[in-house]
Amino acid sequence: MFSDIRAITFDVAGTLLSPHPSVGESYAAALEKFGGEARAEELQARFAAAFKQVNAGPRGGILNREGWQEIVALTFAGLCPPEKLPALFDYLWEGYARPSSWRMLPGVREILSRLRGRGYRLGILSNNDERLLRLLRELELDGFFDAVVLSSVVGAGKPHRKMFAAAEEALQAEPAHLLHIGDTPHEDIAGALASGWRAVQVGRQRAFTDERGDPTPGVLHLEGLPELMARLAPQP
């Protein structure tokens, strides 16, 4: 199944990195700094709903600065005085560009190193903005990747075909030779399959069933990816 793969792309949030502390905790601390108060659990739920609403709207996964402003405004609606919202947004915008706001998930550096050592071209395919470039550089992960494809640059977000086409061009690989690794069934897995790629979902053993009823393989943790690829490659 994977013997003809030449290049592999990765989602970032939820696949390579995780917000730390949680978004709810970070947002609660930020709100308190600007004179408001709310429980982390409430803000986590508000953020999830706002994120889903903005992504389902006209932006379609293009999370540039304006997109994040919409998400933050919806999350803090009724909780933060309107005159303080711009400063609160700037505080969060800059904070999430720093490595201290993120935790690298187990095995990431080792897995990327192993895949590079096996000759795969690697890329990032993310519905995010240019802050990610700084983050990868400061985490010393940028050297693993041959290409970083961002929705804010492409003008479309996963699962749109434009994102996957941009990665094909950047990595100089045909769809049949590409594998995408991500944690979301719709944006990552369905988007990749619709573009003719292979896909693996992180977080579940059997992640996604396509329109023919065929299950897409999954791994509970990224550390299981090399073993999965070896197991599913045809034996000589």
47 and 84 co-located in one domain:
yes
113 and 224 co-located in one domain:
yes
In the chain, the amino acid numbered 21 is P
Give me the pLDDT at residue 205, please: 52
75 and 116 co-located in one domain:
no
Could you list the residue range(s) of the whole structural domain that residue 220 is in?
7-16+105-232
- Mean pLDDT of the region 194-206: 84
Query: pLDDT by residue (tens digit) across 165-184?
Result: 999 999 999 999 999 999 99
Q: Which residues of 98-121 are buried (b: 16+ CB within 10 A; e: fewer)?
A: ebebbeebeebeebbeebbeeebb
Using pLDDT thresholds of 50, 70 and 90, give the confidence band for residue 215: low
111 and 40 co-located in one domain:
no
CATH number at residue 157: 3.40.50.1000
- Mean pLDDT of the region 115-130: 95
CATH number at residue 53: 1.10.150.720
Residue 224 lies in a domain: yes
Helices 40-56 & 65-75 angle (0-180, nearest 10): 130
188 and 221 co-located in one domain:
yes
Query: pLDDT by residue (tens digit) across 30-56?
Result: 999 999 999 999 999 999 999 999 988
Average pLDDT over the chain reads: 91
100, 117, 147 — which closes off a domain?
100
8 Å CB contact between 58 and 160:
no
Better-predicted residue by pLDDT, 161 or 203: 161
Strand-strand pairing, 17-19 and 102-104: antiparallel
Give me the pLDDT at residue 235, please: 42
Residue 1 lies in a domain: no
66 and 110 co-located in one domain:
no
Residue 176 lies in a domain: yes
Give me the pLDDT at residue 3, please: 86
65, 83, 100 — which closes off a domain?
100
Can you tell me which residue has the tokens 């080792």? 110
100, 118, 133 — which closes off a domain?
100
70 and 131 co-located in one domain:
no
DSSP line for 95-144:
HTTSGGGEEEPTTHHHHHHHHHHTT-EEEEEES--THHHHHHHHTT-GGG
62 and 123 co-located in one domain:
no
Output the CA torsion 93→98→100→102 (10° steps).
Answer: 70
Give me the pLDDT at residue 212, please: 53
178 and 212 co-located in one domain:
yes
87 and 124 co-located in one domain:
no
Q: By percentage, how much of the chain surpasses pLDDT 90? A: 78
Using pLDDT thresholds of 50, 70 and 90, give the confidence band for residue 17: very high
Give me the pLDDT at residue 224, please: 83
Output the CA torsion 102→145→125→28 (10° steps).
Answer: 10
Using pLDDT thresholds of 50, 70 and 90, give the confidence band for residue 230: confident
- Mean pLDDT of the region 151-156: 92
Residue 84 lies in a domain: yes
Better-predicted residue by pLDDT, 218 or 167: 167
Instruction: Say how many domains are in the chain.
Output: 2
Query: pLDDT by residue (tens digit) across 109-119?
Result: 999 999 999 99
Residue 2 lies in a domain: no
8 Å CB contact between 129 and 68:
yes
Give me the pLDDT at residue 226, please: 80
209 and 115 co-located in one domain:
yes
Give the residues across from 8 on adjacent strands.
122, 179
Query: Which pTM value belongs to this model?
Result: 0.90
218 and 124 co-located in one domain:
yes
